[in-house]
Structure 1
Amino acid sequence: MRRAVKGVGEFLVDTVGEAVTEVVLSPLASVLLGCLVLIVYLSWRASPRLTVAGAGPVSCFLAHGAWQTFRAPA
């Protein structure tokens, strides 16, 4: 009986922890996306050519990081 109660307690703690994390991280991600959109908008107004030229290296950097993360191990 004690083991079952302990298991239910751990489940509840994990569930509440995940819910709180989701509540904190979702608005944070939305704010970050909004900031990135604002940066692109302002840089496009200043110089469209420079914005496109800067997007190339940023895209390569992100693609390299994704490749490092998801490539098959040797």
Structure 2
Amino acid sequence: TLLPQVQSPLLVLWGEKDPWTPIARGRTFTRYAPQAKFVALPGLGHCPHDEDPTLVNRVVLEWLDGLALER
């Protein structure tokens, strides 16, 4: 995997109800990229950005705001 080479902050969003890719698989991203923030999205499936764009946008914006505060 190339994830250990990534230096930038990462946000991993995963629908808890994803029927194709188990949430446990998504959680493994943080093993390879410790700077990654993993967020499980309750009630959402494989395409959370389509299923609840308002929630996804809020999570992304809060994450970006947090990055700005770290600078």
TM-score (norm 1): 0.33
Name the structure where strand makes up a greater proportion of residues.
2
Larger RCO (CA within 8 A; separation ≥ 6): 2
TM-score (norm 2): 0.34
Name the structure where helix makes up a greater proportion of residues.
1
